[in-house]
Amino acid sequence: GENVEQHPSTLSVQEGDSAVIKCTYSDSASNYFPWYKQELGKGPQLIIDIRSNVGEKKDQRIAVTLNKTAKHFSLHITETQPEDSAVYFCAASKSTSGTYKYIFGTGTRLKVLA
Amino acid sequence: DTGVSQDPRHKITKRGQNVTFRCDPISEHNRLYWYRQTLGQGPEFLTYFQNEAQLEKSRLLSDRFSAERPKGSFSTLEIQRTEQGDSAMYLCASSRGDRGTYNEQFFGPGTRLTVL
């Protein structure tokens, strides 16, 4: 069935360092890949997304890359700050194909150490 | 606040009781989704609506679960005869659903259900 694997499950970095979270999806028909940040007791917040027709997208300190051949996409956070500490989820979807559900990864708990 | 809202935020119930949750989507969004999230896991899809029509249901949605969106605006999720395994965060999301758009979903704060 459809599956998204996410690694690592936990990640600790020093403030100012970069963090990278990797996801792999199983359904080659997936064409939309959002990333969410979830803080304790809150719902997931969309932070960046990428569509299958591009290989990279950047928004200030956050970037996402997509390798369709390998069915692999990654989140890159540069110059990390303590407020980046949260759980991050990747997801895959076959948006525009009639089914709009997201398949989520299992999450990465990021700790930015001051 | 024009985001997705959910009520209640927390619900504690005894096994066997029925519970109902409400979700109010972003006003111009015609798609509404329900997900369930257990501790340490990512959200799992339960069902989604396009306006008032329920178009997809997950196998996770047993016959004890029912969702409605009667007027294409707010939605309710009811769980009958709750079991301890139903304890989870229930998340609602909405999206615009325009033809040809990619499907950015915006999530509410969730309802945390504890079944004793």
CB neighbours of B45 closer than 8 A, spacing ≥ 6?
A: A101, A102, A103, B33, B34, B35, B58, B60
Chain B nearest C-alpha distance from A110 (Å): 13
Q: Is B96 on the interface with A (CB under 8 A)?
A: no
Please tell me the predicted confidence (pLDDT) of residue B99: 63
> What is the band of B1 on the pLDDT scale with cuts at 50, 70, 90?
low
What are the beta bridge partners of residue A93? A32
Size of interface A-B (CB pairs under 8 A): 69
Mean pLDDT of B51-65: 91
For residue B108, list chain A residues with Cβ-Cβ distance below 8 A.
Answer: 43
* The pLDDT of residue B79 is above 60: yes
Q: Please indicate whether, in this complex, the C-beta atoms of A104 and B44 are within 8 angstroms of each other.
A: yes
For residue B95, list chain A residues with Cβ-Cβ distance below 8 A.
Answer: 100
Please tell me the predicted confidence (pLDDT) of residue B13: 98
Average pLDDT of every residue of chain A: 94
Query: What burial letters (b/e) apply to B83-113, b meaning 16+ CB within 10 Å?
Result: eeebbbbbbbbbbebeeeebbbbbbbbbbbb
Average pLDDT of every residue of chain B: 93
Please tell me the predicted confidence (pLDDT) of residue B37: 96
Please tell me the predicted confidence (pLDDT) of residue B116: 96
Q: Please indicate whether, in this complex, the C-beta atoms of B43 and A32 are within 8 angstroms of each other.
A: no
Chain B nearest C-alpha distance from A50 (Å): 10
> What is the band of B2 on the pLDDT scale with cuts at 50, 70, 90?
confident
For residue A96, list chain B residues with Cβ-Cβ distance below 8 A.
Answer: 100-103
Residue B6 near residue B93, CB atoms below 8 Å:
no
* The pLDDT of residue A109 is above 90: yes
Tens-place pLDDT, residues A53-103: 889 999 999 999 999 999 999 999 999 999 999 999 999 998 766 678 999
Please tell me the predicted confidence (pLDDT) of residue A2: 85
